[in-house]
Chain A
Amino acid sequence: MSNSSSGNVGIVIVSHSSKIAEGAADMVRQMVGNAVPLAWTGGDADGGLGTNVAGILEAIEAAWSSAGVAILVDLGGAETNSEMAVEMLAEDRRARVVVCNAPVVEGAVIAATESSGGSSLAAVKRSAEEFYA
Chain B
Amino acid sequence: MSLDRGAREKLVRALAASMIEHAEELTSLDQAIGDGDHGLNMKRGFEAVLATLPGLADKALPEMLKAIGMTLVMKVGGASGPLVGTFFMELGKALPEQPARTDLVAAADKAIDAVKMRGRSEAGQKTLLDVLVPVQAVFAGGGDAKAIAAEAAQAADRTTPMLATRGRASFLGERSIGHMDPGSRSASLLISAAIAALEFEATS
> Residues on A close to B: CB < 8 A?
16, 44-46, 48-54, 75-77, 80-81, 83-84
B44 adjacent to chain A (CB < 8 Å): yes
Across the interface, which residues of A come within 8 angstroms of B83, CB to CB?
80
Interface residues on chain B, size class: 20 to 34
Across the interface, which residues of A come within 8 angstroms of B182, CB to CB?
none
Decide if B74 touches A52 in the complex (CB within 8 Å). yes
Across the interface, which residues of B come within 8 angstroms of A44, CB to CB?
37, 41, 44, 77-78
Main secondary structure on B side of the interface with A: helix
Number of A-B contacts (CB under 8 A): 60
Across the interface, which residues of B come within 8 angstroms of A52, CB to CB?
74-75, 77, 81
Smallest CB-CB separation from A81: which chain B residue? B82
Across the interface, which residues of B come within 8 angstroms of A50, CB to CB?
37, 41, 77-78
In the assembled complex, the Cα of A57 lies from the Cα of B192 at a distance in Å of: 34
Contacts A44-B78, A53-B81 known; list 20 others, CB within 8 Å: A44-B37, A44-B44, A45-B44, A45-B75, A46-B44, A48-B77, A50-B41, A50-B77, A51-B77, A51-B78, A52-B81, A76-B79, A77-B79, A77-B81, A80-B82, A80-B118, A81-B77, A81-B78, A83-B82, A84-B82
Given A44-B77, A45-B74, A80-B118, the answer on whether A53 and B82 have CB atoms closer than 8 Å is yes
Decide if A81 touches B79 in the complex (CB within 8 Å). yes
Smallest CB-CB separation from A48: which chain B residue? B37
